[in-house]
Amino acid sequence: DAGVIQSPRHEVTEMGQEVTLRCKPISGHNSLFWYRQTMMRGLELLIYFNNNVPIDDSGMPEDRFSAKMPNASFSTLKIQPSEPRDSAVYFCASGRGQETQYFGPGTRLLVL
């Protein structure tokens, strides 16, 4: 079974550029989560989808961040414009509606 797939695995960009992160959840999972992890703040939930519908986006830092889930097998997290303080590891996780979550490998984002 393929796990959660994320792309790209690494992204280096310049301040002001648009960044799009992609996630394919595990087949059959109906919950999808986007997290951000930094040394200072740990693992922070950004947004949570259930059956493709955003349930809780209270963790999205500001309007520069947006997320979509057009179907059950794909989600994107977009940052526009990006800033150096957005540099972090972004994880996507999926689950079957219960609390057990399975994490993807993450995208390491560096904004210069």
Binding residues for another protein (CB under 8 A): 31, 33, 42-43, 45, 48, 50, 55-56, 91, 95, 97-106
Which H or E run includes 46?
Answer: strand 42-50
Residue that is written with structure tokens 């040394």 in the block: 39
Closer to another protein at the Cβ: 80 or 100?
Answer: 100
Q: Which is nearer to another protein, 54 or 81 (CB)?
A: 54
Which pair of tokens denotes residue 36?
A: 């951000």
Instruction: Tell me whether residue 71 or residue 98 sits nearer to another protein (CB atom).
Output: 98
How many residues belong to the chain? 112
Complex with another protein: residue 32 or 111, whichever CB lies closer: 32
Cα–Cα distance list, 6 to 15, 54, 75 (Å)? 22, 19, 10
Minimum Å distance from CB 6 to another protein?
9
**How far is the CA of 44 from the CAs of 7, 36, 47, in angstroms?**
19, 5, 9
CB of 16 to another protein, least distance (A): 28
* Smallest gap from residue 53 Cβ to another protein (A): 11
